Structure 1
């Protein structure tokens, strides 16, 4: 059984977009359209890989640029997001080198804040349900039988706007006569973003020695739609936020690299780094509307267990650098008023990623057992 290496892609550029895997910068959970691991994508013709990946984080540390604002926690004014997301996926081997995948994401999110409730008392809003379904196709560039020590796969896919991007809840002290009012929840906990998206991704591995592999992977999500028409009500907080009255549909990207080592025939470990992002500007389309750009660089340790057709893995990346750059609104406001402006965002300290999968073996042509055994040493989520 092959261990898990999350599927991500460095599409074309690393400085344009920010998928923050750790905080309200991360507009919502997202992973590549063609599965989440080497294991899921190295298949015999006719094989089926079924599985789920669970992810949790709590964001509460506020940053402006790369500087933390610890007084937000001290003064109890921090915004706290708790995010639970689960991806259910199915990958099918069309041939030994060509595979296709579908991912059905679900989310349960909560958001506690003061400023969204008239700054008078802390209250919590919630969102839950189906996220944006993803479909993808991937291809290994080299024959898996003759290139057992290293290979490169490229993939592409698309994201359907199946998730609710107008999830609403009750906000207090903001309605008529300072009463409660039903409004869309914050962009960071919306189950969907309201746009059709397109991804390109890659994943590669290279055997270094017996039981030791290096890996790299990445994806870039293109969201051509500029805004989704959902009101944020941020313009009610300040006239300077008029440009943020409607939610944007931003790009996202993530990249990852590291090494993995086989401890035993069934147990493996990995250590690496990952960079997750949501951008200030998109590659395609306009940049109006509200978004929180930001990035997180994390150290990413993991452990995996493989037995028969089952695979389990756990990764807990922890942040070593967090940044919330100036948004388009920050830049426009600073240029028009001559006064410095730089918004903030909340980030998490770590993310918990847990995955489990099961392979249904076909009776068609098989990949050699030696190749599958080699992959047992390569693990990551």
Structure 2
């Protein structure tokens, strides 16, 4: 069966551009996308092609979990922590050859956090952070020639994360200073724009056509953060003496995986349905894992729709959480051993997040949409 090339290429570009792997809106997981900006973008760029893009993400996290068990009393008692997160990733990708591509992502964030426990446990107050986050640079390579392998391909990539974001953003905390006075302190780790460490990423992405308008896609990344802590005080030790080992912030790894199906609805519209699994591990692959972190992971169902016309595309995805887990951290286990009492901290998660992506391609060479339908587009 012959593949409709224009439909397939529209589906690829429309679906993959927007698919930055972002955290599902969990206090445990800070905003992050891979080095190529929209990490699961197809990146099928001809030599000399540019692609500029913007990806907006929003979530509200408020449901508390210990392990996989929700703590509904936090909401009913009005003691939940609420994070509102807005982020904008501005990306530029460039086709060095028809198979080798490079990119830069410049992220910005605007965060709001509302809590009781950070303000003397008597009054609910808000803290804020905003500004530039950690810039990412990366390169990727398609293992097969996109001209001869339109029906499927696999790309591998490497990236670098720079500590450009402020990891010591501060705000006013109430009822915590001398005699209950306000005090300026670093905001919570979950809303810090940066993490304070140099990191590097490894990523992959693939697609494979199944029929004329249907294909399977997938990919993922792992962020390696070798630095153990960034030296920024959390003030958690002021809440309880047993939290002394959580007095400084950790610089944690992060990971994400996605897989799903895409389908072309028309010449310009396509839809997708997939699953994503993402999170912060309990321990880092490289370097120490001390300091305060909220490890966590989220499994989500990820529906999406996209529109593409000529070189312009716009995409909307709304991942919905189906399983949330806040496992025991390294410091939790240390405290449990020291006190002989069970210890597992909690984290607040969102029910869903909103991802909206816009991209525009500036052609400098031959792109996939220009490949003739007769060029090796037969299914076996």
Q: Which bin holds the TM-score, normalised by the shorter protein?
A: over 0.9
Matched-pair contact (CA < 8 Å) for 1:7–1:201: no
Aligned to 1:24: 27
Cα distance in structure 1, aligned partners of 2:249 and 2:320: 29
The secondary structure found in structure 2 opposite 1:333 is: helix
Conserved in 2, the CA contact under 8 Å of 1:47 and 1:93?
yes
Paired residues of 1:35 and 1:41 also in contact (CA < 8 A): no
Q: Secondary structure at the match of 2:75?
A: helix
Q: Which residue of 1 aligns with 2:54?
A: 52
CA distance in 1, matches of 2:36, 2:141: 10
Whether 2:226 is the aligned partner of 1:219: answer no
Which position in structure 2 is the counterpart of 1:169?
Answer: 171
CA contact (8 A) 2:295 2:327 kept: yes
Residue matched to 1:16: none
Say if 1:338 and 1:205 are closer, same or farther in 2 by CA, change over 3 A: same
Paired residue secondary structure (1:283): coil
1:3 aligns with 2:14: yes
How much has 1:3 moved relative to structure 2? 1.7
C-alpha change, 1:372 and 1:140, in structure 2 (3 Å) is farther
Aligned 8 A contact 2:20 2:41 in 1: no
TM-score normalised to structure 1 length: 0.92
> CA separation of 1:39/1:132 partners in 2, compared to 1, >3 Å: closer, same or farther?
closer
How many residues end up aligned between the 2 structures? 363
Q: Give the deviation of 1:8 after TM superposition.
A: 6.9
Query: TM-score, normalized by length of structure 2?
Result: 0.93
Look up the match of 1:317: 319
Structure 1 equivalent of residue 250 of structure 2 = 248
State the shift of 1:333 in Å.
1.1
Secondary structure of 1:209's partner?
coil
* Alignment map for 1:137-148 (pairs within 5 Å): 137-148=139-150
Map Cα deviations across residues 79-116 of structure 1 (whole Å, 9 max, x no partner): 00000000000000000000000000000000000000
**Displacement of 1:135:** 0.2
Alignment of 1:1-381 (within 5 A): 1=10, 2-5=13-16, 20-26=23-29, 28-36=30-38, 39=41, 41-362=43-364, 364-367=365-368, 369-370=370-371
Distance 1:258 1:371, change over 3 A: farther
Mind listing any 5+ residue stretches in structure 2 that lack a counterpart?
1-9, 376-380
Equivalent position of 1:13 in the other structure: none
In the TM superposition, what is the alpha-carbon distance from 1:366 to its structure 2 partner?
4.8
Give the SS at the match of 2:150. coil
Residues 349 and 371 of structure 1: CA distance in aligned 2, closer, same or farther (over 3 Å) = farther
- Partner Cα distance (1:255, 1:365) in 2: 30
Give the Å deviation of 1:335.
1.3
The 1:200/1:101 distance shift into structure 2, 3 A limit, reads same
Q: 1:238 to 1:97 in 2, by over 3 A?
A: same
Deviations 1:154-207 (A, max 9, x none): 000000000000000000000011000000000000000000010000000000
C-alpha separation in 1, matches of 2:155 and 2:37: 12
C-alpha separation in 1, matches of 2:27 and 2:350: 9
1:337 Cα deviation after fit: 1.6
Shift of 1:329: 1.2
Check the 8 A contact 1:266/1:307 in 2, yes or no.
yes
CA 337–39 in structure 1, closer or farther in 2 if over 3 Å, else same: closer
CA contact (8 A) 2:53 2:90 kept: yes
Distance 1:316 1:287 in 2: 32
Offset from partner CA, 1:326-370 (integer Å, 9 cap, x none): 0111111111221111111100000100000000011x4454624
Distance 2:116 2:25 in 1: 21
C-alpha change, 1:305 and 1:220, in structure 2 (3 Å) is: same
Counterpart contact for 1:4–1:37, Cα < 8 Å: no
CA distance in 1, matches of 2:180, 2:40: 53
Report the aligned-residue RMSD.
Answer: 1.7
Q: Is the 8 A contact 2:36 2:91 kept in 1?
A: no
Secondary structure, in 3 states, of the residue corresponding to 2:63? strand
Note closer, same or farther for the CA distance 1:147–1:263 as it changes in structure 2 (3 Å cut). same
